[in-house]
Amino acid sequence: MAALQNSPSIHRTLFPNSSPPLQKHGTFHCCRKEGISFQVKAEQAPATSTWSLSPDRPGRRQGLAIGVIVPLVFLVNQNSISFAAESKKGFLQVTDNKDAYSFVYPFGWQEIVIEGQDKVFKDVIEPLENVSVNIFPTQKQDIREFGSAQEVAETLIKKVLAPPTQKTKLIEASEHEVDGKAYYRFEFIAQAPNYTRHALSTISISNGKFYTLTTGANERRWGKMKDKLQTIIDSFKISSV
């Protein structure tokens, strides 16, 4: 999600009831309801991981303005991913035809490659401003099979989307339906010793896959960024294949 440096690999495994494996420390069971559960198991992540991101540094913007920005390397499958010129003012669209999803991201964000994540875009100046998409296999047909929006959100936040060393708080969780498909959306805060990340996520199930998209920003920039981040969340759509 932001600088996304030293991100751990996501270990994909099969779980009870063929539920979707998700990232993070240790093992946990999500949404135990009517005998339904899923389990996640991963290696211990390094101190700085995908969700434990480097804080902003004063003066970094000025330094980059006068310095040379090293081009990022993109690993893009030209046959499965297409980029629209500009789908909305200030945003670019990415459409993955292979995995059947699309979303928009702010103009100027750069794509980076993180092992275990399907797609990541981030701001080169503000390291906590980014969006990431992850996809995991599942035999479930609907996200509601795992429990309510609040149940699933609380488990993902505590066990997947933030390291156990960070204090987390679920602000809001809701269910939405788009083209007959159920999506869960939620807002949360993850507090590290030297920064606080304010984030939004949307998750859904389709095509035998569990999709997650998460975006966020440093709490100090939330007021400026929340509308853009909400646009990203609202734009995420999954097609049936």
The residues spanned by each domain of the chain are 16-238
CA dihedral 114, 205, 99, 208 (to 10 degrees): 110
Q: Where do the H-state alpha helices sit in 43-88?
A: 60-66
Give pTM, 2 decimals: 0.68
Query: Which pLDDT band, with edges at 50, 70 and 90, does 223 fall under?
Result: very high
Q: Which pair of tokens denotes residue 143?
A: 């996200």
Instruction: For the chain, give the percent of residues with pLDDT over 70.
Output: 64
Dihedral (CA of 80, 238, 173, 13) sign: negative
- Average confidence (pLDDT) over 215-221: 97
Long-range contacts of 63-68 (CB under 8 A, 24+ apart): 64/124, 64/125
Read off the pLDDT of each residue in 69-74 and give the average, rounded to a whole number: 35
At 158-198, the pLDDT tens digits run 998 999 999 999 999 999 999 999 999 999 999 999 999 99
> What was the pLDDT predicted at 240?
86
36, pLDDT greater than 60: no
pLDDT tens track for 93-139: 999 999 999 999 999 999 999 988 999 999 999 989 999 999 999 99
Asked if pLDDT for residue 73 goes beyond 60, the answer is: no
Pick the CATH number of 16-238 from 3.40.30.10, 2.40.30.10, 3.40.1000.10, 1.10.10.10: 3.40.1000.10
pLDDT greater at residue 182 or residue 76: 182
Phi and psi at residue 155, to the nearest 5°? -70, -45
Instruction: Report how many helices (DSSP H) and strands (DSSP E) the chain contains, helices first.
Output: 3, 13
**High-pLDDT (> 90) share of the chain, %:** 59
CA–CA distances in Å: residue 154 to residues 30, 76, 140, 199: 9, 33, 20, 13
The mean pLDDT value for 12-32 works out to 37
pLDDT value for 174: 97
